[in-house]
Structure formats: C-alpha cells, structure tokens
C-alpha cells in the first residue's frame, strides 16, 4: 500500500492511499440529466509557459472524456490565471474542440485587449 506525507494540524503525517484500481470508463453515453466538467490541467514547459505539450494535454482530455466528464477549457482559475496566454489558450480551445471526443465548455475573457485603451462593447464582443 502506498503512503504519502501530508501536512495535518501543523505536522507532517503519513496518509495511506487506497489500493490502485483503474477508474471505469463509460461504455455507454453518460446520463444527460447532469454534466460534470473537469477544469483540466495542461502540460507545459515550466520555463516557457507558452510552450504547450499539446499531445500530452489532449491525452489527458481524452482520458477525462472516457470517464464521462466534460472538459472546462481555458477557464481563468484552471489555466488562464496560471499564466497561459490568450494565444496559447485559443490554440488549446481549437485543439480540444477538434478532438470531438466529448463535451467541452470554453472560457471567454478579454485580457488580450490593450488595458490602456478603453474598450467598446464591439471590442469586447470581438475579443
């Protein structure tokens, strides 16, 4: 049985993990009454935040889709707030949407606009 060390009440404690077992994939379509979206991580070069390992990133999304999850792509807290540029986020959205393996919801933002220039409503819509 594997153990990991975690902080607990100001001390480091060992936590025993459950025996590993693969998560079952969904052989049939997921129920449509509700959809669960995973804010999926991306695989990037930590020294070059705009260098995305697209194949590893998409492989993780395929795994999530096989479990019946949707993917919440390019959301602020999951990716955009962690340094992913607008250009990289846009490319990631296009790549994930092109997979067509499952549900996808994409974040929309306007951080690519010049903050020193007042934006019109049309500017925000185009962004």
Two structure tokens written together for 9: 């009440």
Return the pLDDT at 53.
Answer: 87
**Chunked in runs of 10, what are the mean pLDDT values of the chain (127 residues)?**
79 82 67 80 73 89 89 69 74 89 82 88 86
In-domain check, residue 1: no
In-domain check, residue 108: yes
In-domain check, residue 71: yes
In-domain check, residue 13: no
* Structural domain containing residue 111: 24-126
In-domain check, residue 12: no
Inter-CA distances, 96 with 9, 72, 74, 86, Å: 41, 10, 10, 15
Domain count, the chain: 1
Q: With H, G, I as helix, E, B as strand and everything else as coil, classify residue 58.
A: helix
pTM of the model: 0.65
């Amino acid at each position: 049985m594997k153990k990991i060390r975690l902080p607990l009440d100001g001390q480091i404690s060992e936590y025993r993990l459950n025996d590993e077992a693969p998560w079952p994939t969904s052989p049939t379509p997921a129920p449509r009454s509700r959809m669960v979206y995973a804010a999926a991580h991306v695989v990037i070069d930590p020294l070059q935040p705009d260098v995305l390992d697209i194949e590893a990133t998409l492989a993780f999304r395929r795994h999530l889709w096989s479990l019946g999850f949707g993917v919440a792509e390019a959301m602020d807290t999951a990716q955009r707030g962690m340094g992913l540029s607008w250009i990289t986020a846009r490319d990631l959205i296009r790549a994930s949407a092109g997979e067509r393996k499952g549900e996808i919801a994409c974040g929309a933002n306007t951080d690519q606009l010049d903050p020193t220039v007042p934006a019109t409503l049309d500017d925000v819509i185009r962004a």
